[in-house]
């Protein structure tokens, strides 16, 4: 090495001995020998950290740089996408991979039905209110080639999750109903696709309906920047009926065609990097993460970190639940082995060992300023900083089936703005409601809200005994509506004053301890029985009271109009004098809304 120019190399935070040899251009046996010289015994598949690899490489005459993007605490989705872009440009160790496809569209335009038809399963029946509420990923095979589909929620409340789905996809299928055309949510998706320049295929759905108008849909798409091929543009399209399985093959053919044009590739010789799509707490398996592998190979037994979660890969399952020993690029998997539920959008990566993973995840937790990985609700961050004690707070605890549900609930509640009431999260988490949550809610005077979870029998009995209110919902908007209604009840009422008229005091007939009988003439408006009264002297309000009785010509009456004289019984402690003015009014109490 000494008679050659020093070569610059980049090393990741963790690297296998085999991969290290490839980077150095040395045989594995030579690398193992060099490691032994430094007192390190390692086999071909063992991993060494950056510090060790760097010292060895420098001893061999290399100039070493660290791949900063591979450090867990610095990796974000944006940086991962940047790394994948650079990886593609480098062309090293790249092999073909399946395309990752996301299906987008307005609510009720049939995207979930389309996925059902493609994968021959029925997800719609399992969803509440016909809305897909979790991210799921699946693979199908067409002409011997795999295609990965990432399903994203269709409702407006899940816009953040939907955008994430688009960010990780290679191809977007935009579903537009032939009988409904381009809707507001469709425009939102189109704008994002055009901005990010994501390869797009349009699926014009529901062509079997009598009211279908395909040409109208094509025109509306063109007006919004999506020009189809048969209209002189570049965007592929397929006319389908997801419900009747019409045109699905054409759509899949278009995906394969776009796949050939784009030539999607990834490095299959490196350690895996993936994106957590979803996570939940399984009663038997513990924390389970749905992960899409973006590059590299993930293997059973590897130590991993995913955001603030860490652990070792105990089991990998494909989307059908079948066990896998390893998973490559574009593969959606269920991962078992993390110590806690990770957050959607966290980057999964391989660590050197469990202790390093734990140390790094602790640093991430400190950087985020929290210890509970399930408490990522945006509203929580806002309301926990409220110092104004005048604000009334609704103490709640939220338990949900998966992280995405918590995120969606937080997103919707975060849109409720008020200077008078606020939500105070006593705790949030994934999984069923247990005794510990009931105890915490009881001590904090909180209501427990559950979404698509259950309460354990012991916790239920405890809640009944301690009178802790537990509300469980299957539809997010019903849960949010309940919380919103409770907040509205806490709002102080709005008082609206309605003025009736004024009276000039001409005579005092009787003065009691807390009441007076006076006479006068109505100068403006009218006097109404039961009114509230302001006593005005020299243009200053000197007291208040209430009109108990009203007489005109010594006869009881309900109203006396302007210009007439009358006698009144005043209920109040203020002593009225001749020449004072009495203002008559009422106060309407109105409930505020958020």
Tens digit of each residue's pLDDT, the chain (594 residues): 445 567 888 787 678 888 888 888 888 888 888 888 887 877 887 778 777 888 888 888 888 876 644 444 456 777 888 888 888 877 767 899 999 998 888 777 787 788 888 876 433 334 444 444 444 788 888 888 999 998 766 555 556 655 666 678 899 999 999 998 998 888 888 988 898 888 999 999 999 999 999 999 999 999 999 999 988 899 999 999 998 989 999 999 999 999 999 999 998 878 899 998 888 888 788 889 999 999 999 999 888 888 878 888 999 998 888 899 999 999 999 999 998 888 878 889 887 654 454 545 454 555 444 434 344 444 444 444 444 456 788 999 999 988 888 888 888 888 888 888 889 888 888 889 999 899 989 988 999 999 999 999 999 999 999 999 999 999 888 999 999 999 999 998 888 899 999 999 999 999 988 899 999 999 999 999 999 999 999 999 999 999 999 999 999 999 999 999 999 999 999 999 999 999 999 999 888 888
d(CA 379, CA 406): 11
d(CA 280, CA 287): 6
| Per-residue confidence (pLDDT) for residue 505, from 0 to 100 | 96
How far is residue 239 from each of residues 70, 256, 465, measured CA to CA in Å? Answer: 43, 16, 59
| Per-residue confidence (pLDDT) for residue 71, from 0 to 100 | 40
d(CA 508, CA 576): 8
Tally Cβ neighbours within 10 Å of residue 73. Answer: 16
| Per-residue confidence (pLDDT) for residue 188, from 0 to 100 | 83
The angle, 0 to 180 degrees and rounded to 10, between the axes of the packed helices 28-37 and 50-59 is: 100
- CA-nearest of 431, 371, 434, 376 to 408 is 376
Reading phi first (left if > 0) and then psi (alpha if -120 to 50, else beta), residue 110 is in left
| Per-residue confidence (pLDDT) for residue 250, from 0 to 100 | 93
Q: How far is CA 404 from the centre of its chain?
A: 6
Q: Which domains does the chain have, with CATH numbers?
A: 1-66 (1.10.10), 98-263 (3.40.50.300), 270-367 (2.40.30.10), 378-490 (3.40.50.10050), 494-590 (2.40.30.10)
Question: Quick check: 138 and 267 in contact, CB under 8 A?
Answer: no
Give the 3-state secondary structure of residue 376. Answer: coil
| Per-residue confidence (pLDDT) for residue 158, from 0 to 100 | 55
| Per-residue confidence (pLDDT) for residue 369, from 0 to 100 | 44
SS3 labels along 285-336: CEEEEEEEEEECEEECCCEEEECCEEEEEEEEECCCCCEECEECCCCEEEEE
Tally Cβ neighbours within 10 Å of residue 510. Answer: 9
Q: How far is CA 593 from the centre of its chain?
A: 24
The model carries a pTM of: 0.61
Residue 592 DSSP label: -
| Per-residue confidence (pLDDT) for residue 228, from 0 to 100 | 94
d(CA 388, CA 386): 6
| Per-residue confidence (pLDDT) for residue 58, from 0 to 100 | 87
Strands 273-282 and 309-317: unpaired
């Amino acid at each position: 090495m000494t008679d050659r120019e020093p070569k610059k190399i980049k090393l990741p935070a963790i690297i296998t001995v085999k991969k290290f040899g490839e980077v150095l251009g040395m045989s594995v046996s030579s690398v193992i020998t060099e490691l032994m010289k430094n007192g390190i015994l390692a086999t071909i598949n063992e991993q060494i950290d950056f510090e060790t690899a760097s010292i060895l490489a420098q001893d061999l005459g290399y100039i070493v740089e660290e791949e900063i993007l591979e450090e867990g605490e610095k990796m974000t989705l944006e940086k991962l996408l940047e790394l994948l872009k650079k990886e593609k440009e480098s062309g090293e160790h790249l092999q073909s991979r399946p395309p990752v496809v996301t299906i987008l569209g307005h609510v009720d335009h049939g995207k979930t039905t389309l996925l059902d038809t493609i994968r021959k399963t029925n997800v719609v029946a399992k969803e509440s209110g016909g809305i897909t509420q979790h991210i799921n990923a699946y693979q199908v095979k067409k002409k011997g080639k795999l295609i990965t589909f990432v399903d994203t929620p269709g409702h407006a409340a899940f816009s953040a999750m939907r955008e994430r789905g688009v960010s990780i996809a290679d191809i977007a299928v935009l579903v537009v109903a032939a009988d409904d055309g381009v809707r507001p949510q469709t425009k939102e998706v189109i704008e994002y696709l055009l901005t990010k320049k994501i390869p797009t295929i349009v699926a014009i759905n529901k062509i079997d309906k009598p009211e279908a108008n395909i040409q109208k849909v094509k025109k509306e798409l063109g007006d919004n920047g999506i020009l189809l091929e048969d209209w002189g543009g570049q965007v592929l399209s397929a006319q389908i009926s997801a419900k009747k399985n019409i045109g699905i093959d054409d759509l899949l053919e278009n995906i394969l065609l776009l796949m050939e044009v784009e030539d999607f590739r990834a490095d299959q010789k490196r350690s895996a990097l993936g994106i957590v799509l979803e996570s939940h707490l399984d009663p038997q398996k513990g924390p389970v993460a749905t992960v899409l592998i973006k590059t590299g190979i993930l293997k059973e037994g590897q130590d991993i970190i995913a955001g603030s979660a860490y652990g070792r890969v105990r089991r990998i399952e494909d989307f059908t639940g079948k066990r896998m020993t390893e998973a490559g690029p574009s593969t959606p998997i269920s991962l078992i082995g993390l110590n806690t539920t990770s957050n959607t959008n966290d980057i999964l990566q391989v660590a050197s060992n469990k202790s390093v993973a734990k140390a790094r995840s602790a640093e991430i937790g400190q950087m985020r300023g929290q210890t509970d990985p399930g408490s990522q609700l945006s509203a929580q961050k806002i309301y926990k900083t409220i110092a104004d004690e005048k604000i009334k707070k609704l103490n709640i605890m939220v338990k949900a089936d998966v992280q995405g549900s918590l995120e969606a609930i937080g997103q919707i509640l975060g849109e409720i703005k008020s200077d008078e009431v606020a939500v105070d999260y006593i705790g949030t988490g994934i999984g069923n409601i247990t005794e510990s949550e009931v105890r915490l809610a009881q001590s904090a005077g909180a209501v427990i809200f559950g979404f698509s979870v259950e309460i354990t029998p012991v916790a239920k009995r405890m809640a009944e005994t301690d009178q802790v209110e537990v509300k469980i919902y299957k539809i997010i908007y019903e849960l949010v509506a309940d919380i919103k209604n409770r907040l509205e009840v806490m709002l102080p009422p709005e008082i609206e004053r309605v003025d009736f008229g004024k009276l000039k005091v001409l005579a005092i007939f009787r003065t009691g301890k807390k009441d007076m009988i006076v006479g006068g003439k109505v100068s403006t408006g009218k006097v109404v029985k039961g009114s509230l009264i302001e006593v005005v002297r020299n243009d200053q309000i000197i007291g208040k009271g209430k009109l108990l009785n009203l007489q005109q010509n010594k006869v009881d009456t309900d109203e006396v109009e302007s210009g007439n004289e009358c006698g009144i019984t005043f209920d109040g402690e203020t002593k009225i004098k001749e020449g004072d003015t009495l203002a008559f009014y009422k106060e309407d109490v109105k409930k505020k809304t958020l």
